[in-house]
Amino acid sequence: MVKSILISEDEKAIAEALKLKLEHSGYEVSLAGNGEEALDLAKNKKFDLIILDLIMPVMDGFGFLEAAKKEGIKTPIIVASNLSQPEDEKRARELGAKDFFIKSNVSVSEIVEKIANVLK
């Protein structure tokens, strides 16, 4: 069965590059440009994984994590951010994120590897 991934990322170039790489690796991918859009998608469709940026318009990643918890969304979430403060990672993990990485420190191939590990 094909695994389905939601990418919530407002930087179109990053979202598209990740989507292409993941689709090439055999995943079904949906994109959301902000946390509110991602929340609507996550409430209406079952995803195997969510990749979440923290800094987004309308609703940021922390807002999404809080809302997802309230809504009872159990999908594993990996946070992909350029916020490199330890307290941001700590807060994201406390709100339910399974993994956290700094986008500028990780290649798209490494991201796909992390995803494969979470989905095992």
Each residue's pLDDT tens digit, 80-99: 888 778 899 999 999 999 98
Domain ranges of the chain: 4-55+66-111
CA torsion angle 11 17 21 27 (round to 10): 40
- What's residue 109's pLDDT? 85
Quick check: 5 pLDDT over 90?
Answer: yes
CB 32 within 8 A of CB 15: no
May I ask the CATH architecture of the domain 4-55+66-111? 3-Layer(aba) Sandwich (3.40)
Whose tokens are 């919530």? That residue is 8
pLDDT tens figures, 7-59: 999 999 989 999 999 999 999 999 999 999 999 999 999 999 999 999 989 99
Q: How far is CA 46 from the centre of its chain?
A: 14
